[in-house]
Amino acid sequence: MRKLTEGEKEKLWEEVREEFPEDEMMQEVHYVRLLHYHQTEKLSRKERIQFYKDLGTGHAL
């Protein structure tokens, strides 16, 4: 799993705030989707599946 820098995370927030300026819930949903995409983009299918399984158990945090 790739760790994003604080600067990268802030850029993701800027992107979602611009895309959904009046909808805080959609900002959060879209941010998490982008975050997971960047964290897992170079993982194999098997590794991505394990990543999401670990999220469900709290191990990926």
Q: First-to-last CA distance in the chain?
A: 11
Helices (H) and strands (E) in the chain, counts: 3, 0
Query: In the numeric block, which tokens belong to residue 33?
Result: 């989707």
**pLDDT tens, 5-43?**
999 999 999 999 999 999 999 999 999 999 999 999 999
Instruction: Please report which confidence band the pLDDT of residue 58 belongs to, taking 50, 70 and 90 as the band edges.
Output: confident
Name the nearest CA neighbour of 50 among 42, 59, 41: 59
SS (H, E, C) 37-49: HHHHCCCCHHHHH
Whole-structure pTM value: 0.83
Quote the pLDDT of residue 36. 96
Quote the pLDDT of residue 61. 58
